[in-house]
């Protein structure tokens, strides 16, 4: 569960399609690595956050890109990466799609989806803060 300056949202993770990515982000989120960081990128189709520098340039690009057949539909959670090399993704920055984004399919790591709080995602603006993350279990 993410608590933001605009409210809460919950992500369901998919270790079956991206085990290394899920393990990486669970570790970061449980240690508070995103706490007090912001959403630095907010566009009509996506929000992106958890960059330690706050401007989209931070975090190590050392996470293997784990592509799958999952679709980046509304509420999909993925991992930021540079254009090249495609084989590695950012170990800090994640994004959530606000619109169906099929151009991401098979190109980026899909590792979960928003299961509640999509209205919060849609209300986010650049600079809105991730206050805290809480790991919930089924």
**Which residues, listed in sequence order, are joined to residue 47 by a DSSP beta bridge?**
42, 96
**Which residues, listed in sequence order, are joined to residue 79 by a DSSP beta bridge?**
94
pLDDT digits (tens, 9 = 90+) for 68-91: 999 999 999 999 999 899 999 999
Helix (H) / strand (E) containing 80: none
Is a pLDDT exceeding 80 seen at residue 138? no
Helix (H) / strand (E) containing 121: helix 118-123
d(CA 44, CA 66): 25
Interval 126-135 mean pLDDT: 96
Q: Judge whether 82 and 89 are in contact, CB under 8 Å.
A: no
């Amino acid at each position: 569960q993410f608590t933001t300056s605009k409210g809460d949202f919950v992500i369901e993770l998919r270790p079956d399609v991206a085990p290394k990515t899920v393990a990486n982000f669970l570790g970061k989120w449980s240690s508070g690595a995103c706490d007090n960081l912001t959403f630095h990128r907010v566009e009509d189709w996506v929000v992106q956050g958890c960059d330690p520098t706050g401007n989209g340039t931070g975090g190590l690009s050392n996470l293997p890109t784990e592509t799958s057949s999952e679709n980046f539909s509304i509420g999909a959670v993925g991992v930021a990466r540079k254009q090249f090399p495609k084989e590695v993704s950012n170990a800090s920055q994640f994004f959530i799609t606000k619109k169906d984004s099929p151009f991401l399919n098979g190109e980026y790591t899909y590792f979960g989806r928003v299961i509640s709080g999509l209205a919060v995602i849609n209300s986010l603006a650049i600079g809105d803060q991730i206050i805290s993350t809480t790991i919930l279990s089924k």
